[in-house]
Amino acid sequence: MCLRVKEIIDEKKEDYRLIVFTKKRASALILNHVIEHINKVKSSYLLGHSSRIDAFMSEVMSLEKQRKILTEFKNGEVKILVSTSVAEEGIDIRPCNFVLMFNGLESIQSYIQTSGRARQKDSKYIVFQEKSDAEIMRIGKEVISSLPQVFKERTLDYEIPITENVSEFYEVESTKARVTLNNSSNLLNRIFGKLTKSPKEIIWEDKDGKKRAILTLPTGFPLQKKVVEGQWYVLRANATKSAALELIKRLHQENILNDHLHLKNDAPKKRIKTANYRLNREEVLVTRKIPAPLVGKWDSPSQDFFGHRICIDETVSKFGLFSLTEFEVPPFQIYLKGQKQNKITFESLHKLTLENPLLEIARKFHTSLFKMLCKGLKGDGLDPNTETYAYLILPINNDDIDWEYLQQFLEPRKIIANTLPRSQLEGKILTTLYDSLSYKVVSVHTGLQLQSPFQGGRDNSGKPFPARPANNPTIDIPNTDNFNPAPKTKSTPSNFLEHFSKKRGFEIIDTNQELVEARRLRYPKNGLRVQQKTEKKTPGIYLPPELCFVEELTTEMHDQAILLPSILIRLESLLIAHQLREACPIRADPDKILEALTPSGVAEGFNYERLENLGDTVLKYLVCLSLFVVYPDYTEGELSERKARLVSNLNLFDLASAKNLGSYSSPEKCTFQEWATSGCKANNQMKIRKKSLSDETEALIAVAYLSDEGVTKDKPILGRRLHNSAKFLEWLDLFKDMQNSLREIEDKLNNYHLEYIPNGLNLYEKEYFVSNVLKYKFRDANLLSAAFSKDSRSCLPFQRLEFIGDAALDLIVLEIMHQKFPKADPGQYTHLKHCVCSNWMFGRISWEYGFQKLGCIDNQTMEKIRVYGEAIAEYKVRMEAEIASRRTEAGFSEEEIRRKHIFQYADADPPKILGDIFESVAGAILVDSGFNLEKVKEVFDPLLRPIMSLLSPECAVFHPTILLLEKCQKEDKNFHWDSRKKDDQWTVQFFIGNELIASATCANKSSAKVKASSEALKKLRVHM
């Protein structure tokens, strides 16, 4: 070879580039060394960037080094390059004019790729082969002899006959939209980019020198006929375009494409994956509805009002609510002090008409009252022609407005020294001149004067400082406009006079007046939730009467008035819930609807979290049931894909937004500082998280499910409660995606029949097992056979039954949990359900009752089941031994030990087929009983009862996967899983961003995920 290289060098002098290809990396290094040593030229070698040489030459060629060597070769700095197959394709080396194959030819593909490296004119391709290796010689001769035929076949499709007819087209008559043979493939590719399914494969037919393309469509493709045939053409490319044109024509004729040949909005489109953590952070701006009875305009000098007396428990308050429309609300509870509940009711009063100036006086009282109660209100600022809150809170005496008190309240306030004598100040409400804060008088005889030393008002022992007798506490004081504020300093005052004159900025006229002791008035507290008791009291302060106004509002009326914000917020929310009740098919009580509309963290004492968990499960069951009957030919994977899109938070948000459900929601950040009442609120817009709106939608599904109202005539096949939820989903247009109404879906449920030919194996044993273990007799033997058959022929019916059975068992288990743990934390329901509704637990129950004995299971899987059974037997022995050894210990609990052994995830993984059979049998019973969920619950209750009896809220912390997901979602981490199977072993990796956190390998994928979750929690320092 070195002699041949020397000939090339002598022949071309400087005008040459030579690539020597060799198979082995070590050969490349050795050849490079030999060429440089013998031929005295500069050469180099090229290896894959991830390759490693033998131990004594350990080296990794980086991508940067590869580029450097190729650049030197192109520029002529290196004339000879020894390379492995890394330079065969994808590398453009135009100056190369010699290629030398050191190890001979191996295939046509190798020849085409390596010969393509020699780009110069008159390039040479040299092959070295060992004569002694007969096999290598034979392969080389076959490659060379087959070259003409290969070149001929590759050029056939490029010989375009002049007589080929390509005038085929399709035109829509109404819009004149046209697709031709030439653009049909491009249009179809755009359609396939949006559809959930694409053609599986293309079949070719040859006849008389012409070709025809036949497209086979997968199950679930939105066409009735699953085969599309094109026209006959000489060229294969034209035959493909003809089949594409025919498919476009069929898609338009079956209403998948509109008359402009665009995909319709209701066509099954590809699911766009949106991370929940993003949806949880994104917010939308909505305008909250104003309750109809409380809405109106202030554009008329005369208004008709309906009065409503506010009653607290059985006590009539001194305030009434006057609205433009009469309304009725059920009684509700608020918390006045600590955990004590008080019943609030509204009693109707007579209708009355208010005209100016009385109307203006009433509005002024209403606004002034709430300015005093709620800090920070800034006038009403309302446009009289704008429809907004229009109600009044006014004092009442018997059944009429107390106009005398109302006018006294609005009279100009006077300074104490000019009005009441000191003896009548006890219990009065004062407002300070300098900061407009309100106080309640505690004591009028404090013994303190303005000249008393100022140390917080008391001496070191905590007793009040001695005072000098007051000369005249009721002297005349000039108008407050003439008060001259004293200059402010940062020094500590020595007495009260210096404090009020320097710090507060007012010059005191009567320096001998006695101070009064007062405490700040309580501002409205949240009476909608339990308040924690606090022993801390507001400290008293000392005020000079000269700087205080006296208010007409008595302390009794103030104590009732501070309840008004809580009462009005609840009233407003209940009226909005009632409006939603009238707008949608939910017939539940308004207070239950309000619970579904209330996110966590607001002023209310309840939220939607408990309902959302139930609504999510009901939604998934109804969607699974509908998909099951609407798409009888879909596989489990296709059904699951559609289900995931329909129940996703993104889809629920879109549906809820279309129905404007966000306008009924309670504000997520409602506080009493931000709340204002009629006459003070000008903006009713709020932000709501998209995830919250989808959660509220699920909670409303649960409210409909728990409602007993609705159907009164014929009993629906779904049952009354599920039918109510389905009616709400129909109102949301969720079934529109399936192109079926609820009535059509229920008809299909009534007439459903499984198309399945049983294999007849072990039919008697199956019937005996079901009748004796499950206490159920199948009406349709086909369903019984399909439930236990997972062979290649009956895989579709088995998977479909498993799909619907899984959803049914989820709902059954969650209902049992709600009954057993009515006061459990909402988050615990998710954990508890996963403890039972998992392939791990269903597989355990299936093995305990012997479901595997009747299934069509291969020998390899049966061996895994046998090993699993031995592991379970060992667990039982260990459990009984622990119980026996600890029986005499203090605080011994046999139930706790059994719970610990049963709800253990790390070891003893059941083969997946066990859980699949369990779910498939549940689905078969559901279908056989006419989709009667109560019958499935009755059959499976004895099987689930032993597990459910040991279940407790403490079990919720045992499952690591949910703990890990919750932590990542709370901390807004971008996480993902990666799973791969190799040699019957699953490897599951958990990433946060691009960082690998944990990895685990196991024969069962779910078990590997659990182990990886446990490892990740340890690294993230989360206690399980």
Catalytic residue numbers?
616, 698
How far is C-alpha 839 from the chain's CA centre? 23
Q: Could you give the CA distance from residue 99 to residue 565 in angstroms, rounded to a whole number?
A: 90
Please return the burial class of 848, using the count of CB atoms within 10 Å of its CB with bins 0-12, 13-18 and 19+.
middle
* Two structure tokens written together for 781: 């033997």
Q: Is the distance from CB of 828 to CB of 953 less than 8 angstroms? A: yes
Rounded-to-integer distance, Cα 505 and Cα 364, Å: 30
Q: Quote the strand ranges of 217-301, DSSP E.
A: 227-229, 283-287, 295-296
DSSP conformation letters of 437-501: -EEEEEES--S-BTTSB-STTB-TTSPBPP-PPPS-TT-----GGG--PPPP-SSPPSBHHHIII
* Cβ atoms of 382 and 680 closer than 8 Å: no
Which amino acid, 259?
D
Tell me if 379 sits within 8 A of 367, measured CB to CB.
yes
Longest Cα separation, the chain: 134
DSSP-derived pairing of the beta strands 18-21 and 98-101: parallel
> In the numeric block, which tokens belong to residue 628?
């099951």
| Residue 82, strand partner residues | 20, 45
Closest CA to 93 of 111, 106, 80: 80
| Bridge partners, residue 439, by sequence | 430, 520
CA distance 383 to 25: 85
DSSP, collapsed to helix, strand or coil, labels residue 125 as strand
What's the burial of 398, exposed, middle or buried (CB within 10 Å: 0-12/13-18/19+)?
exposed
Instruction: Tell the burial category of 604 from Cβ atoms under 10 Å away from its Cβ (0-12, 13-18, 19+).
Output: buried
Can you tell me the distance from the alpha carbon of 795 to that of 139, in angstroms, rounded to the nearest whole number? 45
Q: What angle do CA 242, 243, 246 make, to 5 degrees?
A: 90
CB count within 10 Å of CB 461 equals: 5
SS3 (DSSP) at 432: strand
Structure tokens at 236: 């294969």
| CA angle at 577 for the pair 573 and 578, rounded to the nearest 5° | 120
Element (H, E) at 191: helix 184-192
Of the chain, the end-to-end C-alpha distance in Å amounts to 68
CA distances from residue 744 to 251, 735, 752 in whole angstroms, order as listed: 24, 10, 12
Determine how β-strand 295-296 pairs with β-strand 315-323: unpaired
